[in-house]
């Protein structure tokens, strides 16, 4: 039974990488909390699930590179 709202496939839901530490690096290249660029932050809500997963994979690489 539906409640009149569009049904969303739970597998298609990709959680945001935001960790509520919203501060940009000194050069304004990335957010220090989630490592996304301003363009990526703004575009998140417009991305499909595959695009979001691809960005999350890129963020893992950024995090690994930053730890070196």
| Domain interval for residue 36 | 16-67
Average pLDDT over residues 2-23: 77
Number of domains into which the chain is organized = 1
6 within some domain:
no
More confident residue, 6 or 31: 31
**Percent helix / strand / coil, the chain, rounded to 5:** 45, 5, 50
28 within some domain:
yes
In this prediction, residue 10 has a pLDDT band, given cuts at 50, 70 and 90, of low
Average pLDDT over residues 25-33: 94
Q: Rounded to the nearest 5°, which phi and psi values hold at 31? A: -75, 135
């Amino acid at each position: 039974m539906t409640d009149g709202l569009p049904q969303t496939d739970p597998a298609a839901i990709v959680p945001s990488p935001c960790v509520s530490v919203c501060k940009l690096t000194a050069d304004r290249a990335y957010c220090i909390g989630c490592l996304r660029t301003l363009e990526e932050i703004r575009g998140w809500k417009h991305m499909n699930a595959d695009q979001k997963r691809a960005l999350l994979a890129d963020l893992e690489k950024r995090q690994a590179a930053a730890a070196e």
